[in-house]
């Protein structure tokens, strides 16, 4: 296990060295993120200024939800997209061989080789937004809720990672799959909103596209607005999604034809 942590540390260090060559990227991304945050908060303010609430979510609640969305999106952009989205290129070019011959698990190596550091400060933005929601809502959050929040943030990150792996493994079956990752971007836009679904639709989406609830469940657990049964289902789905991603990856490798044929 120690060697895996050493590989992760070395990958993060190399990523930092590469990014330091282009320090202006940090400034540009900071401005981009600040603009993104400002206009999204303005959007919520305008909408909720006219309808007062969305379900039982008022403006401070929506601020906490958006901060949670920002944290999870930053995790996706920093650690997942920069690595997993390259599977399609590795398979198509035959360069996946370089990972398969190494003494560590190939999925682990592909998933941890890069860290998109300019995206990392968005996590700080997200935390700041959540704290701002607390301040304007005058919330007193129990410690247990905070722990559940962190647990479901992790669950959401696992689900997004697993879905990205599964979509990119389609390349093992068909030759052109480079656009499939766009599905993640499209679906996760719905995560900016609370649970507006009812009846069986909620559970269909839970199994078909759990990423839709990737912000709602953590924020709902933090604010005491999520049903315990529903939150438990979400946690179970996160574990199952990781298992599915592993099975899909292993089966994909069986179909892989190396650069040597």
CB 179 within 8 A of CB 97: no
Q: How many domains does the chain have?
A: 1
What is the pTM assigned to this prediction?
A: 0.86
Q: What is the pLDDT of residues 72-102, one digit of tens each?
A: 988 998 888 888 988 888 888 888 998 888 8
Is residue 99 in some structural domain?
yes
**Mean pLDDT, range 220-245, rounded to an integer:** 94
Instruction: Indicate the burial class of 167 (C-beta count within 10 angstroms; 0-12, 13-18, 19 or more).
Output: buried
pLDDT for 149-161, tens place per residue?
999 999 999 999 9
3-state secondary structure 80-96: HHHHHCCHHHHHHHCCC
Residues spanned by the domain of 204: 2-255
Give domain status of residue 200, yes or no. Answer: yes
Instruction: Round to whole Å and give the CA distance between 190 and 209.
Output: 10
Rounded CA separation 74/120 (Å):
6
Determine, yes or no, domain membership for 19: yes
Q: Give the confidence band of 170 by pLDDT, cuts at 50, 70, 90.
A: confident
User: Is 18 a member of any domain?
Assistant: yes
Check if the beta carbon of residue 115 is closer than 8 Å to that of residue 75.
no
260 within a domain of the structure (yes/no): no
pLDDT cut 70: percent of the chain above it: 81
Whether 83 is in a domain gets the answer yes
Q: Is residue 261 part of a domain?
A: no
Separation CA 252–CA 242 (nearest Å): 15
Q: Are 226 and 142 in contact (CB under 8 A)?
A: no
Q: How many CA atoms lie within 13 A of 123 on its CB side?
A: 14
Inside any domain, residue 67 = yes
Cite the beta strand spans of the chain per DSSP E: none
Using the predicted structure, report yes or no on whether residue 193 has a pLDDT greater than 60: yes
Contact status, residue 168 vs residue 85, Cβ threshold 8 Å: yes
């Amino acid at each position: 296990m120690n060697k895996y942590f050493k590989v992760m540390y070395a990958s993060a260090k190399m990523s930092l060295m590469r990014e330091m060559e282009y320090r202006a990227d940090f400034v540009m991304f900071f401005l981009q993120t600040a603009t993104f945050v400002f206009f999204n908060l303005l959007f919520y303010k305008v909408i909720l200024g006219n309808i007062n609430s969305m379900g039982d979510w008022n403006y401070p609640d929506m601020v906490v939800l958006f901060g949670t969305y920002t944290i999870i999106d930053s995790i996706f952009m920093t650690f997942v997209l920069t690595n997993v989205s390259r599977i399609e290129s590795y398979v198509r070019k035959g360069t996946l061989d370089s990972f398969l011959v190494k003494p560590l698990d190939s999925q682990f190596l592909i998933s941890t080789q890069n860290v998109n550091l300019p995206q990392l400060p968005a996590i700080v933005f997200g935390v700041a937004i959540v704290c701002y929601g607390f301040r304007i809502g005058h919330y007193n959050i129990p410690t247990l809720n905070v722990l559940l929040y962190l647990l479901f943030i992790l669950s959401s990150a696992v689900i997004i990672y697993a879905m990205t792996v599964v979509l990119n493994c389609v390349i093992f079956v068909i030759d052109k799959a480079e656009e499939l990752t766009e599905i993640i971007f499209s679906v996760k836009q719905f995560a900016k909103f609370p649970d507006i679904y009812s009846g069986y639709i909620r559970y269909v989406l839970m199994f078909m596209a759990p990423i839709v609830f990737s912000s709602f469940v953590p924020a709902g657990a933090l604010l005491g607005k999520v049903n315990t049964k529903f939150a438990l289902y979400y946690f179970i789905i996160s574990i199952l999604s990781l298992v599915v991603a592993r099975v899909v990856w292993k089966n994909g490798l069986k179909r892989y034809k190396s650069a040597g044929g």
